[in-house]
Amino acid sequence: MNQNVIKIVSFTLNKGVSLEQLLEKSTASGEFVAKQPGFIYRSLAQQANTDTFVDISYWQTMEDCQHMQLAFEDTAVCQAYCALVDSESVGISHHSVLSQSDCTA
């Protein structure tokens, strides 16, 4: 049985990058990500009272997530999203889903 995987990327923005710029590039890269095999869900959030963001995506399998990452790195809209991010601040983690509920509200 394959377990779903959550990929969490935390980061801060480069100096001078606005929230509007981030949202624009996130939307464009999100459209690319959503078309990848195994994609389930993605969200972008900001930690309360900080300048730290998290980009969270859910995948059918770790293999799906890894294939997306390779494609992400080679795609112009995704590179534009990454260009807004302070590369020194990036943290990436992967988590196996142990339990889940239906979130179709």
Average pLDDT, the chain: 93
The closest alpha carbon to 44, from 26, 25, 31, belongs to 26
Give the pLDDT confidence score for residue 83 in this predicted structure.
96
Longest dimension (CA), the chain: 46
List domains and CATH numbers for the chain.
5-96 (3.30.70.100)
pLDDT digits (tens, 9 = 90+) for 45-83: 999 999 999 999 999 999 999 999 999 989 999 999 999
Give the pLDDT confidence score for residue 103 in this predicted structure.
66
Give the pLDDT confidence score for residue 105 in this predicted structure.
56
Give the pLDDT confidence score for residue 1 in this predicted structure.
56
